Structures are given as C-alpha cells and as structure tokens.
Amino acid sequence: MGKVIAIFNQKGGVGKTTTNVNLSACIASKGKKVCVIDIDPQGNTTSGFGVDKSQLEYSIYDVMIDEVDIKDAVIKTEYENIDLIPSSNELAGAEIELVSTTDREKKLRSAINTIRGDYDYIFVDCPPSLGLLTINSLSAVDTVLIPIQCEYYALEGVSQLMNTIQLVKQNINPDLEIQGVVLSMFDGRTNLSIQVVDEVKNYFKGKVYATIIPRNVRLAEAPSYGQPIIYYDNKSKGAEAYLELAEEFIDLEEDVI
Ligand code: ADP
Ligand code: MG
C-alpha cells in the first residue's frame, strides 16, 4: 500500500510546488511508482509536468465535486513512473461548493484510498491557505512534508500550521504525522540563511532533513519548460539537491539510515 504525503505550508512561495514536482520526479527516477495530486487551483504542479490544464477531460475537481472515479482522472506524464491527477481552474470555486456537501472534509480521503495500491508514494500539493481544500488534503494523507523558506520570517505562521495539523489529528485523521521539514531557497552567502537553518532545526528537533535545497535559478526556470529539474538540467545544483533529498527520503522510509 502506498504512503500518502501532503506538501503543506499555508504560506505561499515557500517552495511547496517546486518540492512536489522535483522530489516526486527524483523519487520516481529511483524506481518508485509515484502519483502526484495537484489540489492547488493555480495548477503549478500540473503545468510543472508539462500538462495543459485547458486540455483535460477530468481533474481533481471532478473527483471531489462530481464524484468522478479518481482512476479516470489519472494522467500518465511523459516522465518515468509518474502519474498526475491534475488541477483545474474550477477548483477555485470548490472551497465554496464543498461547504454545503456531506462529509465535506473527507472527499479526497475515500478517493485516494482506492488508488493507494497502485503506487509507492502519492504526493498532494496543497494550496497556500487553510481552507477546505487543505483540510481535505490533511484528512486524506498519512503524513505532512513541510517546506520552509530560508528567509527572515521563516517561522512566522508555523504555530498556526502546527495548530491546523493538531486540529485535523484530533477531529478527523488521528494517525496524521509529520514526514519531515525541508529547508528551501538556502543562500549560503548570507548569515541569515544559516541562522534560519538553526532556528528551524531547533523548533522541529529531529524532523528536519539534512539535505538543504539551495536557491538555484535552474529550479525557477524548469517549470516554464514543463520539466522537472532532473530532465531540464541534470547537472544543476538544484537537480543534485533534490536527488539527494529523494535518497534521504527513501533511506529514512526504508530504515537504511
Ligand atoms: P509555493 O508552491 O509554496 O507557493 P513555489 O514552489 O511555487 O512555492 O516557489 C515560489 C517561487 O520560487 C517560484 O517562482 C519558484 O520557481 C521559485 N523557487 C522555489 N524554490 C526555488 C529554489 N530552490 N531556487 C530558486 N527559485 C525557487
Ligand atoms: Mg504552489
């Protein structure tokens, strides 16, 4: 049975989507079967894999709102071992449409459970909010992977993030755990980045990955070509870092470390 992981931080621009696209592609390149679910109405994960949102038959919206079978919404990407369940523009309205439905926090959960057996890992890219789409994601997953940007206000909003996880744990998903914390956009030339790493490690104790993702322009360019970094520029610092993170992730899962 595959493990389901939400990539979550309600702050925007911290590296959720970049981590989702590139970590999942790197894990898949190591022979694991991966599915990526894009539940952010912005659809950056969908376009990051080169899939055009306007050309889709079904998206995760249809699964959550119209009860379309999730297997019908799965798309094979052009990359090895990666399937995608895409976002669509309609998802922006889903927050409101969900309010009046029964089991509104659990729409994703039952759908995802039907595809668990098909994958080693399923990653869910969350929107930058604490609305019903995010709550649905946190209710559906086993663990949460939290990207944190190495910047001045890095820990701002983290207590709210931890409260949300705690609330979902108490009320809907008692087994929810933290998978790990990824430090992103690290700039080794600044004392600030170094200081943030210490603060975050102190706050999250043993949960922070040893691999830190550097700021790397190739990571910012790759999405406009619809390619994960290992296909866009395999030799870049960004590709090296996400490959290393994938190894650390798998080793921890398989108890090698
Ligand atoms: P989120 O999904 O949390 O909103 P993104 O992953 O979309 O954040 O990242 C925000 C912006 O920063 C994007 O333009 C992305 O290309 C860029 N970015 C993310 N990580 C890096 C990095 N390590 N180096 C350089 N640019 C990055
Ligand atoms: Mg995003």
Model confidence pLDDT, tens digit, residues 104-138 = 889 999 999 999 999 999 999 999 988 999 999 99
pLDDT in the model for residue 257:
57
In terms of residue numbers, what domain contains 23? 3-253
- Residue 209, pLDDT above cutoff 80: yes
Query: What spacing in Å lies between the alpha carbon of 251 and ligand 1's midpoint?
Result: 25
Weakest-pLDDT range from 91-95, 173-177, 235-239:
91-95
Ligand 1 contacts CB of residue 164 (under 6 A):
no
**If pLDDT is split at 50, 70 and 90, which confidence band does 222 have?**
very high
ipTM of the complex in this document:
0.99
Ligand 1 contacts CB of residue 128 (under 6 A):
yes
- Residue 92, pLDDT above cutoff 80: yes
pLDDT in the model for residue 113:
95
Higher pLDDT, 219 or 195: 219
Taking only the tens place, the pLDDT of each residue in 21-31 is 999 999 999 99
pLDDT in the model for residue 189:
87
Pairing relation of β-strands 143-149 and 177-184?
parallel
- Residue 256, pLDDT above cutoff 80: no
Calculate mean pLDDT across residues 177-192.
93
**What CATH number is given to the structural domain containing 97?**
3.40.50.300
Q: Whose CA is nearest to atom 20 of ligand 1?
A: 15
Q: How far apart are CA 95 and CA 231, in angstroms?
A: 34
Measured CA to CA in angstroms, residue 161 lies from 11, 74, 158, 168, 169 at distances of 9, 29, 5, 11, 12
Ligand 1 contacts CB of residue 220 (under 6 A):
yes
Indicate the residue type of 18.
T
Neighbours of ion ligand 2 (CB under 5 A): 16-17
The number of folded domains in the chain is 1
